């Protein structure tokens, strides 16, 4: 199948597929006599694997490691589990960071009168860089 068909079936864009090839995440596709990229069913499986990994928030580097583990039938599942656990720790760190941002913003919103007056603690905080209340 050509890149457009592969993109449609995988749910990725042709641009992303070309990008994944350019960074070595996906092997370069074979070419037809007329020079068009041609993708196999195995390529489609790899694209689906990449897409799902990215949907779960894995970085491109992590996706590369997961692909290597997936293709290595002699790998230990413990290696995969360790990588996934590391990713969970990173997600938890990001969640905590986002919760802190939300709480700070909520506090600013709670202190803003939201009326016709120009005084606004939200803008004051942004102006000060959050350092000098």
Range of the domain at 60: 1-74
- In whole angstroms, give the CA distance from residue 55 to residue 13: 14
Q: How confident is the prediction along the chain (133 residues), in pLDDT tens digits per residue?
A: 999 999 999 999 999 999 999 999 998 888 988 888 999 999 999 999 999 999 999 999 999 999 999 999 999 999 999 999 999 999 999 999 999 999 999 999 999 988 888 888 899 888 888 765 5
Looking at the structure, do residues 10 and 45 belong to the same domain, yes or no?
Answer: yes
Looking at the structure, do residues 12 and 64 belong to the same domain, yes or no?
Answer: yes
Looking at the structure, do residues 25 and 56 belong to the same domain, yes or no?
Answer: yes
Mark which of 35, 58, 74 sits at the end of a domain: 74
- In whole angstroms, give the CA distance from residue 117 to residue 68: 60
- In whole angstroms, give the CA distance from residue 126 to residue 129: 5
């Amino acid at each position: 199948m050509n890149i457009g068909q592969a993109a449609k079936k995988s749910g990725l864009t042709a641009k992303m597929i070309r990008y994944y090839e350019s960074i070595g995440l996906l092997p370069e596709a074979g070419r037809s006599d007329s020079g068009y990229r041609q993708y196999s069913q195995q390529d489609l499986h790899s694209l689906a694997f990449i897409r799902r990994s990215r949907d779960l928030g894995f970085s491109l580097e992590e996706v590369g490691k997961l692909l290597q583990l997936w293709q290595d039938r002699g790998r230990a599942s413990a290696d995969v589990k360790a990588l996934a656990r590391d990713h969970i720790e990173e997600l938890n760190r990001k969640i905590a960071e986002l919760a802190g941002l939300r709480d700070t913003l909520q506090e600013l919103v709670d202190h803003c009168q939201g009326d016709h007056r120009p005084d606004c603690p939200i803008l004051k905080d942004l102006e000060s860089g959050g350092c000098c209340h």
